[in-house]
């Protein structure tokens, strides 16, 4: 698809259309816009979620076609040649559509603008073969990792990248149980808190053999659940949540204790709510200083560095609980000093700030002039 863009000084006309039979639609097909204003074009397709890469091209009168930008969902656009984000803006949040904007129009911007979508083959070195689409997540496209971490400090003990289906193409059975058993290898005398993707009766029995307990929500389609647990009608007040049963499995609790709170929640639910956010909090704190890149090997490598840096901060905080007690951004300070120390000596990880560190954070250290 393509759009004719005309820059005018006295009138404004915008006409939308599409090419019949095409799976890629670009609107509007003709765009008149005033000088010094912005012109936006939209592109969408019906080729499927695997066509998540979008290209934008420009062809000026008397010139050949040139690529302006390349975009993928939830990542920064890559501009070609002399094109930059100062003049152009490409936005893409989902696989099926995106937009392109020419800023501060000039007479020389008049021309034809094209959008195209593509799906690379598995032999393309630039495409991650196990990139996943999870609509329920804020970042719908990405690489999934299984993580076992401490519920209180979010210290990551073990991580495992989900590489998708096996080479045979057959989906894995009991994946949740396999992941928990892999991540808890070597542990003993601890409790595992997980959600309903992992929890099952068989997993609970396997963990008890390792001297481990489990507390987690259970899906209602489990064959081992008796029908009486699934029935919500005729139950006592406060025994269900908005007429919906919340099912949990616990090998840690031996008695059906109920709290003294007004809502009379069982102790097992309070325990689950208190310990379920360890992995989510780790993803939150690691993403605070995350670098963005379109190359998937670097994504995994950066994530390893980020998690390792956070683990170092947790250990140091336990060793030195009185380190910078009044400073709000202690983790940023720790990351800064660790980064500087990697260029000098590992033994200087938490030594005083250096001149190089002062250049990285202008104005943060006494005596620094911000040069």
Q: Please give the pLDDT value at position 15.
A: 30
> Does residue 154 sit within a domain?
yes
**Does residue 369 sit within a domain?**
no
Going by pLDDT thresholds of 50, 70 and 90, the confidence category of residue 193 is very high
pLDDT greater than 70 at residue 370: no
Q: With 80 as the cut, is the pLDDT of residue 291 above it?
A: no
Mind listing the pLDDT tens digit for each residue in 133-174? 888 777 778 888 999 999 999 999 999 999 887 666 677 888
Highest mean pLDDT among 45-54, 263-272, 282-291: 263-272
- Residue 350 has a pLDDT of 44
Q: What pLDDT score does 1 carry?
A: 52
- Residue 285 to residues 136, 165, 189, 275, 282: CA-CA distances in angstroms? 20, 29, 28, 17, 5
Asked, for residue 365, whether it belongs to a domain, the answer is no
**pLDDT of the residue at 352:** 44
Which has more confidence, 4 or 208?
Answer: 208
Domain count for the chain: 3
Higher-confidence position of 311 and 366: 311
Same domain, 330 and 272: no
Q: Are residues 264 and 138 in the same domain?
A: yes
| pTM as predicted | 0.58
Percent share of the chain, pLDDT over 90: 29
Average pLDDT over residues 96-101: 91
For residues 244-263, give the mean pLDDT. 85
> Does residue 333 sit within a domain?
yes
Q: Are residues 36 and 59 in the same domain?
A: yes
For residues 171-193, average pLDDT: 92
**Together in a domain, 307 and 220:** no
Residues 242 and 180 in one domain: yes
Out of 57, 87, 118, pick the residue that ends a domain: 118
Do 210 and 296 reside in the same domain of the chain?
no
Q: Which CATH number goes with the domain that contains 73?
A: 2.60.40.10
Same-domain status, 62 and 168:
no
Quick one: pLDDT at residue 146?
93
For position 20, what pLDDT does the model report?
Answer: 35
- Residue 51 is predicted with a pLDDT of 82
Question: Is 80 exceeded by the pLDDT of residue 98?
Answer: yes
Judge whether residue 13 has pLDDT over 50.
no
pLDDT mean over 2-31: 54
Range of the domain at 190: 132-279
Which of 249, 279, 309 delimits the end of a domain? 279
The better pLDDT of the pair 290, 72 is held by: 72
Question: pLDDT by residue (tens digit) across 304-362?
Answer: 989 998 999 999 889 988 888 877 788 888 888 877 777 655 444 444 444 343 333 33
102-116, 279-293, 327-341, 345-359: range with lowest mean pLDDT: 345-359
* Residue 73 confidence class, pLDDT cut points 50, 70, 90: confident
Q: How confident is the model at residue 124 (pLDDT cuts 50, 70, 90)?
A: very low
Of 118, 140, 166, the position where a domain reaches its end is: 118
pLDDT in tens, 135-144: 877 777 888 8
Query: Has residue 318 been placed in a domain?
Result: yes
């Amino acid at each position: 698809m393509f759009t004719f863009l005309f820059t005018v000084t006295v009138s404004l006309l915008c006409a939308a259309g599409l090419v019949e039979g095409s799976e890629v639609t670009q609107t509007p097909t003709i765009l008149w816009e005033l000088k010094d204003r912005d012109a936006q074009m939209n592109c969408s397709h019906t080729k499927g979620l695997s066509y998540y890469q979008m290209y934008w091209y420009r062809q000026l009168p008397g010139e050949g076609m040139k690529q302006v930008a390349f975009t993928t969902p939830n990542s920064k656009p890559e501009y070609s040649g002399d094109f930059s984000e100062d003049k152009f803006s490409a936005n893409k949040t989902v696989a099926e559509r995106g937009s392109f904007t020419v800023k501060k129009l000039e007479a020389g911007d008049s021309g034809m603008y094209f959008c195209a979508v593509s799906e690379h083959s598995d032999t393309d070195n630039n495409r991650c073969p196990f990139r996943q689409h999870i609509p329920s997540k804020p970042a719908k496209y990405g690489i999934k990792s299984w993580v076992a971490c401490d519920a209180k400090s979010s210290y990551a003990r073990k991580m495992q990248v989900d590489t998708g289906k096996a080479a045979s193409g057959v989906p894995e059975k009991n994946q949740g149980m396999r992941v928990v058993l892999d991540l808890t290898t070597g542990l003993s005398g601890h409790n595992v808190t997980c959600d309903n993707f992992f929890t099952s009766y068989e997993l609970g029995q396997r963990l008890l053999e390792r001297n481990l307990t489990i507390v987690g929500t259970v899906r209602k389609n489990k064959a081992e659940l008796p029908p009486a647990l699934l029935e919500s009608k005729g139950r006592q007040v406060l025994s269900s949540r908005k007429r919906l049963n919340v099912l949990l499995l616990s090998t840690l609790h031996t008695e059906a204790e109920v709290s003294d709170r007004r809502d009379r929640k069982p102790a097992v639910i309070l325990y689950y709510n208190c310990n379920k956010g360890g992995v989510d909090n780790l993803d939150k704190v690691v993403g605070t200083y995350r670098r963005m890149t379109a190359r998937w090997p670097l994504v995994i490598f950066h994530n390893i560095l980020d998690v390792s840096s956070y683990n170092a901060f947790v250990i140091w905080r336990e060793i030195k609980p009185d380190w910078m007690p009044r400073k709000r951004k202690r983790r940023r300070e720790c990351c800064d000093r660790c980064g500087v120390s990697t260029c000098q000596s590992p033994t200087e990880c938490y030594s005083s700030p250096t001149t190089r560190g002062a250049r990285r954070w202008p104005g943060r250290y006494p005596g620094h002039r911000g040069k």
